[in-house]
Chain A
């Protein structure tokens, strides 16, 4: 397993994960604003269309999906959850 999933709070693996489709993201920042644990940011670099795409900080995502619904682009973000965590919850 990658360090990402293990370095979350208290050594417990993260419940969620998020990926950004940097070619579809328009850098509006609404996902960053929506994220309660504040694990998203706008990247310093520009994508092909001249936007600063959103970026996951790599850990701390709860899989809540708030960023997903705040994002105006259909395929801007994908949110994941760990099934075992969902079952345990």
Chain B
């Protein structure tokens, strides 16, 4: 046979009509002998789909504009083959990556190439929302009704009754749901412009697939919007069929389950040769100096920081019930630190309940850079209720201060050696001011009296920044003074206690 073949068909008067598309690398980034072939199994639909995509890119002259987002799955290495821009995305996230790439480079042609596990299982949210936003990207969706790469687990598209490693008795809709029909699903959304399902079941179907791929890419050049071509594709290896039988299964089993056809084609409404205007951009961000105004903080132009303590290392844990102003108290402390030109951090930590759950926050105020915002060993504990005292008292560092929101400790709690305690009924004092909820600021006043760590001016400035309502600012100022006063009295009554600075 071989002797009948021409050494050089061109010399014999032929010209090339179909050859390796230019959008493939001339050599693949694979080891040694393998650099001329793909890593796909013989007869794999990914190889065919790659070729159709490459050919369509060639025909439309888009090679230099195209950025391919490859998925996780057998086609994870699509970037070995297509000589375009390439990004490889985390499993299922290609449409999100494509969105970012397209928005940053609106003149690029951005292609998300994904398998059915990638797109319809882990990545279902990404594809739905990219489609729903009408991102001007093109998605090629290779539906082989299985997870190929990982050895044949059920995909959302696996057919009812089909055996897989995770449906060993066949897919049963009671347990595993029904095959997801992606084109039909996306066709319920307003935004998509072009949705078509094609197949690789024979030469005719392959030709139709090429036409759909070409059209989807062309629509992107016309800025038509979101398009997706679902490609029913053979996976001979996992299906345990030879390539020809796998191709037959695409025709005879997949196509009846996933009807071929156009599910949406609004691109056809664009007059031939016309390009839609670019998508309107979102409103530009405000100029930097407009931001304080937008945040309603432009009235108090901060003065230069108040005199800054040379040494400061406050590690504060504020804890109580939600609604007691725990987080706000932490914020005022941190803001006061900022006013002093110190390094600060404020880390809230709360349960799922907005109110009536527990709530605590970590605050650091330091003359050094803050290495971690977590306060595991506080030197100040502001315990606004009993559970918080029980929980955090054992964590307080020797030499540290504990302020507790009651005039005495529960009988069963002993204060560890070397810990300074100030029990003060802050909420009750606030109650007498007419606002129980100002108990947090009463405790802040008490902290100022107990320690010399923070000058009162810094706290006043912080309050002015943190408290928006004039009425509350007034209440908080009184609460601060009340706490300071009450703490001084309590401390001077306790002659055995020595007032002490911590810094």
Contacts and interface: CB of A to CB of B under 8 A. Distances in A.
Nearest to B248: A33
Interface string A51-75: 1000111110001011011111111
B24 interface: yes
Interface string B417-447: 0000000000000000000000000000000
A5 B7 CA distance: 12
B21 interface: yes
B118 to A, nearest CB: 19
A72 B14 contact: no
B16 interface: yes
B17 A82 contact: no
Given A5-B13, A79-B18, A72 B203 contact: no
Contacts of B9: 17, 19, 80
A56 to B, nearest CB: 6
A3 B45 CA distance: 37
Contacts of B460: none
A80 B9 CA distance: 7
B47 A72 contact: yes
Give the residue among A3, A17, A58, A81 with the most B Cβ atoms within 10 A: A17
Interface in B32-62: 33, 36-38, 40-48, 50-52, 54-55
Given A30-B247, A69-B52, A72-B45, A58 B81 contact: no
A48 interface: yes
Interface residues of A, number: 46
A60 to B, nearest CB: 11
B413 interface: no
Contacts of A77: 18
B496 to A, nearest CB: 88
Contacts of B21: 74
Nearest to A65: B18
B467 to A, nearest CB: 68
Give the residue among A3, A34, A49, A73 with the most B Cβ atoms within 10 A: A73
Nearest to A41: B1
Interface string B1-39: 110111001101111111111001000000001001110
Contact of B206 (A19, A48, A63, A69): A69
Interface of A: 1-5, 16-17, 19, 21, 23-24, 26-30, 33-34, 43, 48-49, 51, 55-59, 63, 65-66, 68-75, 77-84
14 contacts: A17-B6, A23-B37, A26-B43, A57-B1, A65-B17, A69-B18, A69-B203, A72-B43, A72-B51, A74-B21, A74-B38, A74-B47, A80-B9, A80-B10
